[in-house]
Amino acid sequence: MASTAYYHAINAGGTEPPAEARNESATTHRLDLGDETDRETSSGGPLGSLVCPSHVSLSKDDDTSEVITLEPGFTNSEPAVLKTLSWFWDIVLTVSPLFFIVLAILAARLDGSPVANSKYGDKVVEITRLGPTIYPILFAMVAARFYKNAARYRLERPGGMRMSSLEQVFGSQSFASALERLVVVRAQLLLGALILSTWAMSPLGGQSSSRLLRIEERRVEVETLAVYYDNRAYMYPVWSDPDTYRYSASDIVQALYSGSLLSQKKQQRSFSDLWERPKIPQLPWNWTREENGEAWRVVDQDALEAGRDHFTSLIGLSVQSFDFSDISTRYDFKVQSSHFDFKCAMVADTDSEEVFGNLTFWQPKSLNHLNRVQTNLVEILPRYGNFSYAYESFATLLVYPTEVEPVPYLLYASFAAPTGGPGMFQDLHYSAFNCTMAMPNVETEMSCTAQGCSPVRQRQVMDANEDVLVQFRRWAYIENALAAWPNMTKSVPGKASATENFIANDENVYANQKLRIWTGTDEKTFSSRLTTAFNTAWEAGVNPYNITKGSTFTTSALSPDEYWANQTSAVVSRDEKAYYLNVSWAVTLTLATVVLQALAVGGLVLRFLIRGPDILGFASSLTRDNRFVPVKGGSALDGADRAKSLREMRVRIADVQPQESCGYVAFSTIPEDGGSKEGEVAFRPLEKKRLYK
């Protein structure tokens, strides 16, 4: 009898059981598998037809069970609707990887685009966040289809394929299963490594898609606006008339000056004054016009904050017309200013009045400074402790080195008591500094934000305004300011002035320090801090009633109509968020997606070329050509169709030679009566300690 090839489903294929198991006269229960000659040829066509019930019918009254016969048919003969939907899904799956190529292109187009102006940027960002979820799912569907179709197509070729290759290719339905097949089968290492490398593209593609874009803030120029600031070189200070200072403005000037000295060190070293107005740094000590010309220097902001560098004054410039409604707004502009710059050298440090009197110079005797008389310090300095004079701890004079010298210098004299005690007002220690004086014009590049202004760069400029110091009336103003300067803070007998304490860089200038002895003082620090102190006193007398009103955060009170208001152009910039492409991740996504697209196209082409049924991976395929399963025909059915046809059949893996010393494991059906009828094959559950053929 031409049996159905006696393929036995023992662990997905095995050897034929021995003859004893196939003995028709065996007394053990058996399943009658029938004969293939039971086919009845119909007139429906040359292939004939199989007469087969649509369900399993194992009659309890018969000695043998009925055999299930499946109808013949064409391969891939599913209904037209299902076939159309299946092909449609395959086409959609094939073109789906192109979505990530488009995503990479859109991300590249967004590179450098502002977030606020982008029409689709937020949607692209949201999609990239879903990338780690969507990409692996899509990759798994595409790659699994490709390897399954590759195995089916190769099996239909005349040469077939090796079992190890089939196991490796078809078993690679995921990264884990591909790795498992590579480790367990260990027959096709190169093929397994190639398959693993393709599956490795899945996590790379998912992670790279989520890292395509990053959002960072950048600075962009918005517009150029006019900014106004005061030019004090053309403003008449209260020093132009001593009576104006004495009877009108002395209280406000002294309050501004004392308040600046009284402020904390952190405030004095900050870039803005007490009224949020930007301060101008001093040029470096060794900065000379001859060597540097109009070259720019970068302001050392750290040195200013640490107190190593100094500002020209503790009172800043009045700069207005700022709008900080957007807190990220920044104004970059340049301002020109002038200040008194002193370079001091100690010329006397003695307890001897005679030595102090040897310092001679020429003193002006007229407002135009053309008439001068020679004198010395002892003759013109007030006697400290003489009750006809105040107790100023220092005195300043504007004197000339010669009778014809056009530019004077500042003579700074300080008094101190060497021993103290009752004779402290008679036995004095004298210190004198000769300070050359200049009035450089400085251009400073400022940067202002809602948090305040800071100096960025600075240079000395040469223009006609430098001659302002030579004007004779300016000397008179300076003399008036120098005369008022020692009394701007309260004079206490036997105590140093707050001004001198500031010059000495004391932490608290109003701590009633003793009269100072300047022996061994650093002349560079002395000059820089004296410059700051005197310019603060001078600036306090320039438009004193408006200093507390002028702030960079108020509406402009200046206009071009005021002759002392300067106008400058400010570049307005703001921080904005922009998209930036991560090029390395974009390249990774593109490469991974190219591999995915190749798998997708290959899977679709292979499906078009495949002719046979889809039986790989279905448990119902174990019923094909199995003598222990009473099913005939249906070789053209897919695994899914076979499973639907045999949906009621109960199957198991059991020992089909229970009476032998060595059992035989087979995939078989379970009779409806549990295998109790005579003539049926006996079954026995599998046991751990039993041998099997």
Beta strands in 499-600 (DSSP E): 565-581
Structure tokens at 222: 């918005």
pLDDT, tens only, 454-502: 999 999 887 655 555 555 557 888 989 999 999 999 888 888 999 999 9
More confidently predicted of 632 and 499: 499
| Cα–Cα distance for residue pair 530/311, rounded to 1 Å | 11
pTM of the model: 0.64
* Of 689 and 556, the one with more pLDDT: 689
Amino acid letter at 650?
A: R
Average pLDDT, the chain: 79
Mean pLDDT of 340-368: 84
Q: Find out whether 502 and 307 touch, Cβ atoms under 8 Å.
A: no
511, 270 Cβ separation under 8 angstroms: no
Q: Cα(112)–Cα(519) distance, rounded to whole angstroms? A: 62
Residue 367: the pLDDT is: 64
Query: Taking the mean position of all CA atoms in its chain, how far away is CA 587?
Result: 21
For residue 9, is pLDDT > 60? no
Give strand pairing partners of 319. 229
Average pLDDT over residues 374-392: 69
pLDDT over threshold 90, residue 345: yes
Residue 202: both structure tokens together: 């899945």
Quote the pLDDT of residue 543.
84
Distance CA 449, CA 451 (A): 5
Residue 160 in tokens: 């077939």
Domain residue extents for the chain: 1-73+632-693, 80-212+582-609, 221-345+375-575
- Whether 611 and 589 have beta carbons less than 8 Å apart is answered as no
* Predicted confidence (pLDDT) per residue in 517-558, tens digit: 899 999 999 999 999 999 999 999 988 888 887 655 555 444
Half-sphere exposure in the Cβ direction for 547 (13 Å, CA): 30
